[in-house]
Structure 1
Amino acid sequence: MITRRTVLALLATVALPTRLFAAAGEPAFWEKQIADGKLPPLAERLPKTPRVINVAAMGRQPGKYGGEVRMLIGSAKDIRLMTIYGYARLVGFDEALKIEADVLESFETVEDRIFTFHIREGHKWSDGTPLTSEDFRYCWDDVLNNEKLSPAGLPTALVMDGEAAKFEIIDERTVRYSWSTPNPDFLQKLAGAQPMVVVMPSTYLKQFHEKYQEEDKLKALMKEERVKKWSQLHMRMARSYRPENPDLPTLDPWRNTTPLPAEQFVFERNPYYHRVDENGLQLPYIDKFVLSVSSSALIPAKTGTGESDLQATGIDFVDYTFLKDSEKRYPAKVLLWKKTQGSRLALLPNLNCSDAVWRALLQDVRVRRALSLAIDRTEINKAVFYGLTKESADTVLPESPLFRPEFANAWVAHDPEQANALLDEAGLTKKDSDGIRILSDGRAAQIVVETAGESTLETDVLQLITDYWQKVGISLFIRTSQRDTFRSRAVGGEIIMSMWFGIDNGVPTASMNPGQLAPTADDQLQWPVWGLNYLSHGEMGQAPDLPAAVELTELLQRWRHSAEDAERTEIWSRMLSIYTDQVFSIGIVNASLQPILVAKKLRNVPDTALYGFDPTCYFGVYKPDTFWIEQEA
């Protein structure tokens, strides 16, 4: 159990006297604003007890202020990467994936039921307004519990068996959330790549709320933003995960300064950021990130021609040879980090598809197992990944303490004979003159596999799978569409099967939520309708009726009530066993490598690391606020 005593003891070992902050010197970036009286000096901008990051203890070099980093993004929506990369959270994961206080000075828990949060004295939002318990209260009372702003109700991590959290303000710097039963999910959701929001800059946002703003002024603001409802106005101005509003105060290391529409977004350092290094320098070291919008198809080429200083998104292993060759022409290096996904690519049979014949077949485990057994993963590994990946079901990686070889080996052996036998058992015994099986309604057994078309890797692998499935009497047709269209079609039941990534978090611990193995969200492409039902507390979608999926949901509920590591481990093990044995997603290979292009002037980027959205937040847990630029002499 994490206690306040433990956390405060750790803080005591790294506390720095306030006088060091002034002695450490200001970033040159702020000299004019300070001289003009627009910004107070550093000692007045920092919290009384800032979070101290001992960069040397991380095995890296304490840095210097200054410089900018260029990155390429596929669309304006990808500015959310700065929220993920910056990774400032109330609590967050360290590199060992343990929870630690970050924005919070400390926290304490009782039986995973009662969570008391302590705010740093003097901590401020990026506009200089104080961070206090009022910001938590505003979010709880006026946003999360406001039907107009949160029509779907509270996030699932704030509700246990229908019991909403009890929220209390203890004092100006202390708040508490409590339930009558354990809620092991609460801190994990706050630490996530897309964190659950429980605190908002109330001073700024109240001007967009009907409870606090005069009606005529609110109407004027609505007219200015071209929206018809004040709730739409508030949602737009309050969006923090995708920070499109430059005026929205933030706690992140960098803040967006560019309004929409734009082809280039400039993120500048937050003058009130709460972290410092061991020498008293305020983080981040880097002054600016400049994100330029480019066609996704052109990102690899532009990256390889020196247009990016730090690039991971938009490039893939298929680009590695080209990018590596560019090292000869540009001052950059290409690293390889291991992806954390349970499978680099996975086939996701839509068990909720609207086609009744295919829905019945895909809900038959024999069909899912047959489709998996028909695939020659060894050939895919050699032909597409140069033999550098691991043939595996969609499951956790050996780096996870929950890994078992039987999970990885479930139904992945290349066995066309057994695949044929299983399809026969499932009733697909008739074939046409081309050897393609005939469905019960007389159609040929053709599966349209849809992808978002964001990588040639997907189509390369699917071309090979087309041949494998042809040999067991299943015809495969590939269709690509835009990501948003792709996902909406899946929820609407129009997609029979899709190709996407495997489970996001392939390196979980027992204390992390196993919800990725059960129907919990509408973006889970193998059961989006069941996931929507869970997400909406039963208000939308449909509850699962397949026994194995029902059991996964029940096990997830057990985990959410658990308070002991042994019980959580047992639940995880059972869920992984069911998920892989039932082949709810058809994994191909995992332990694949992600190229990371880094300009040689950029320091402190780890040579090797784990790369994934959840839980490492891509670069996030490696603290990009400690990356720095070695300036030319």
Structure 2
Amino acid sequence: MTLLNSLRAGLFLTAALIAGPLAALDLKETPGLDPSLPPVAERLPAEPLVVDLEAKGRQIGKQGGSIDTLIGRAKDVRLINVWGYARLVGYDEQLELVPDILKDVQVEDGRIFTLQTRKGHKWSDGHPFGAEDIRYYFEDVVSNESLNPSGLPPFLQVNGKPPVFEVLDETTVRFTWDDPNPLFLPELAKARPPFIYRPAHYLKQFHEKYGDPDFIAGEAEKVKARSWAPLHNKKDDMYNAQNVDIPSLQPWVRKRDDSDLRFILERNPFYHRVDTEGQQLPYIDDVVMTVADGKLIPAKSQAGESNLQARNLNFADITVLKKGEKQNDYTTALWANTKGSEITIQPNMTVKDPVWRELLRDTRFRHALSLAIDRKLLNRVLFFGLGKPGNDTVLPASPLYKAEYTTKWADYDPEQANALLDEIGLTERNDDGIRLMPDGRPLEIIVETAGEEQVQDDALELVTEMWKEVGVELFAKPSQRDNMRERSITGELVMSVWWGFENGIPTSEMPPEDYAPVHGDRLSWNAWGDYYETGGEGGEKPDWKPAERLMELYNSWLTSRTPEERTKIWEEMLQIHADETIHIGLVSSVPQPVVIKDIENVPLEGIYGWDPGAHFGIHRMDEFYKAD
């Protein structure tokens, strides 16, 4: 059943997710909880989300224990709100949107969204959660100019207009736009969602509309905030896990502020999920995050110091991790990386230099550079043949996948590459055999790298030799991420190396924002993205036909009403990328190592990505449990 049909029918629940009244469950009390807490029947919603683990091919777990994991910097504690992945609606492992925190969502005509919370659902401090928390977000936070001077975010606007917001009862709200808003639900399911609900009972005390002025002034002075608004914004911390006082709906909550090197995230005793045996999730009591030097995390994982580790591990660590499995009693699972390409070379289509601009926008030039790369050799040398040579595009796990998207203009054919370069008119060469550009400069391409991934540098070394065979000189220029972005903004960046499209496994219901110039932070078309984001006040209006068509298609997706419409739009956008080789992808589907030690229900085969995926989130970390 398609997402839209599911929404219209109100049928979100898969075989693994069953909503049922508490009376039908044989509830069991969670051992080790504070005895002053209410009993489990009073902590759960009236209709909790019941997880049928056996239907998912997993085991009924047991409650208790800790997961130890390593993070490379203190601010990565915020990942607990990614991995926990409690969302109003979220993706399941089949990439379908299903209700989670919400009991139900009804969608009419793609523009009217009725959200129903679970009666009796509570925040982690035991206070009721419901329609008032969504109202507070919409009316008192995101619509308040002092708190949000930039105005409503794009997912809450359609054609520049806000929705009509209504509270229907204590558990139900409705958002109504004049036209369809296909951005709305996917935004709620992101790894970093907008959290369109807030703990109103907690935050109101810091809001000028509700709080005591003297109290607000005193609290503002404590944190050196100039007024109520920066104080409120500091306390309103749904994602970063810095405010230990703010209530949460996530499976684990940070309640201690006693260390910036070791973080203990404790179970939420009011979490809304329960298994079919009546055990409240999460199974694990605590997630302990310890800060370590990122370069040492692979060695520490090999030494058995982490129960669950993927962060700061990459393909190059697999051999070492496999060697340590028997000695330190862990398993190295290999999950599918969801990036469109592990490595991609990105021509800057909005480069300022007019000669480079004309050359980079010539489709024949990009095709020639792509055909001059032996991707099979790169895959063997860099990834032991475990990746998939090809373009930067959607992966076979996506329902939108077509083999042509991966293979078109991606075969190794230096003869055809030479012919295309000759056809362009780049026939003159210098004494070193390097072709000359139309203005007489040698065809020397500076490819900038952030220096964050050794494999990117290694790949460029190999590509340098391949391009030289067709008369193109490549110079790799180490830089930093911020410098690369700045040079992209100023138009000085000619070409860069980066990883591929973040979401290589999209469905038609996910916005195609990576594949159209709608973001100003993209290295391949900064000026066009800036133009879109600023409403034409900055950047440059797209003046290249493929980019113009991608924008038309993206805007059509934003007003689409059916999955069938959105599928056609996606397919044309992907075909444009395949035909034009806008990104020169090298190798995709490179395995991501995941170290698992003494933890059950972690899949040995999974997907690892940010959106969709939320790293462990899509596989439901609250269902993992400690082995005997």
TM over 0.5: yes
**Equivalent pair of 2:12/2:98 in contact (CA under 8 Å):** no
Alpha-carbon distance, 1:335 to partner:
0.8
What is the aligned length? Answer: 624
Structure 1 gaps of 5+ residues are none
* Cα distance per residue 1:363-406 (max 9 Å; x no partner): 33232222212211010011111112211111112222222222
Change (3 A) 1:130 1:359: farther
* Cα distance per residue 1:176-205 (max 9 Å; x no partner): 111122222211111122223311112222
Segment drifting more, 416-425 vs 159-168: 416-425
Q: In the alignment, which residue of structure 1 is the partner of 2:467?
A: 469
Segment drifting more, 559-568 vs 234-243: 234-243
Alignment match of 2:603 (pick from 596, 602, 606)? 606
**Equivalent pair of 2:517/2:547 in contact (CA under 8 Å):** yes
**Equivalent pair of 2:26/2:277 in contact (CA under 8 Å):** no
What secondary structure is seen at the aligned counterpart in 2 of 1:24?
coil
Alignment match of 1:621 (pick from 582, 598, 618)? 618
Q: 1:70 corresponds to which letter in structure 2?
A: D
* RMSD of aligned Cα (Å): 2.5
Change (3 A) 1:12 1:380: closer
What secondary structure is seen at the aligned counterpart in 2 of 1:117?
strand
Alpha-carbon distance, 1:447 to partner:
2.8
Alignment match of 1:7 (pick from 11, 18, 24)? 11
**Equivalent pair of 1:91/1:99 in contact (CA under 8 Å):** yes
Q: In the alignment, which residue of structure 2 is the partner of 1:18?
A: 22
**Equivalent pair of 2:17/2:51 in contact (CA under 8 Å):** no
Change (3 A) 1:160 1:425: farther
1:175 matched to 2:173: yes
Alignment match of 2:62 (pick from 46, 61, 64)? 64
Q: In the alignment, which residue of structure 1 is the partner of 2:562?
A: 564
Aligned equivalents of 1:169, 1:581: Cα separation in 2: 48
Aligned equivalents of 1:178, 1:520: Cα separation in 2: 25
Give the alignment of 1:181-196 within 5 angstroms: 181-196=179-194
Q: In the alignment, which residue of structure 1 is the partner of 2:367?
A: 369
Q: In the alignment, which residue of structure 2 is the partner of 1:113?
A: 111
Aligned equivalents of 1:229, 1:483: Cα separation in 2: 34
Q: 2:127 corresponds to which letter in structure 1?
A: T
Q: In the alignment, which residue of structure 2 is the partner of 1:293?
A: 291
Change (3 A) 1:236 1:21: farther
Segment drifting more, 464-473 vs 94-103: 464-473
Alpha-carbon distance, 1:522 to partner:
2.7
Q: In the alignment, which residue of structure 2 is the partner of 1:457?
A: 455
What secondary structure is seen at the aligned counterpart in 2 of 1:300?
helix
Aligned equivalents of 1:268, 1:80: Cα separation in 2: 14
Q: 1:626 corresponds to which letter in structure 2?
A: E
**Equivalent pair of 1:22/1:42 in contact (CA under 8 Å):** no
Alignment match of 1:432 (pick from 425, 430, 433)? 430
* Cα distance per residue 1:446-487 (max 9 Å; x no partner): 333233333322112111112112223333233344545544
Q: In the alignment, which residue of structure 2 is the partner of 1:104?
A: 102
What secondary structure is seen at the aligned counterpart in 2 of 1:520?
coil
Aligned equivalents of 1:194, 1:175: Cα separation in 2: 22
Change (3 A) 1:5 1:453: same
Aligned equivalents of 1:209, 1:545: Cα separation in 2: 46
Aligned equivalents of 2:377, 2:15: Cα separation in 1: 52
What secondary structure is seen at the aligned counterpart in 1 of 2:328?
coil
Q: In the alignment, which residue of structure 1 is the partner of 2:202?
A: 204
Q: 1:62 corresponds to which letter in structure 2?
A: I
Aligned equivalents of 1:267, 1:450: Cα separation in 2: 39
Structure 2 gaps of 5+ residues are none
Segment drifting more, 369-378 vs 194-203: 194-203
Q: 1:353 corresponds to which letter in structure 2?
A: V
Alpha-carbon distance, 1:3 to partner:
4.3
Alpha-carbon distance, 1:306 to partner:
1.5
**Equivalent pair of 1:344/1:590 in contact (CA under 8 Å):** yes
Alpha-carbon distance, 1:629 to partner:
0.1
Change (3 A) 1:475 1:77: farther
**Equivalent pair of 1:257/1:265 in contact (CA under 8 Å):** no
* Cα distance per residue 1:275-323 (max 9 Å; x no partner): 1111111110011111122222222222112121111121111111110
Segment drifting more, 204-213 vs 267-276: 204-213
What secondary structure is seen at the aligned counterpart in 2 of 1:7?
coil
Alpha-carbon distance, 1:244 to partner:
2.1
1:352 matched to 2:353: no
What secondary structure is seen at the aligned counterpart in 1 of 2:11?
helix
Aligned equivalents of 2:271, 2:344: Cα separation in 1: 40
Q: In the alignment, which residue of structure 2 is the partner of 1:534?
A: 532
Aligned equivalents of 1:249, 1:210: Cα separation in 2: 20
Give the alignment of 1:52-91 within 5 angstroms: 52-91=50-89
State the percentage of identical aligned residues. 46
Change (3 A) 1:293 1:476: farther
Segment drifting more, 58-67 vs 462-471: 462-471
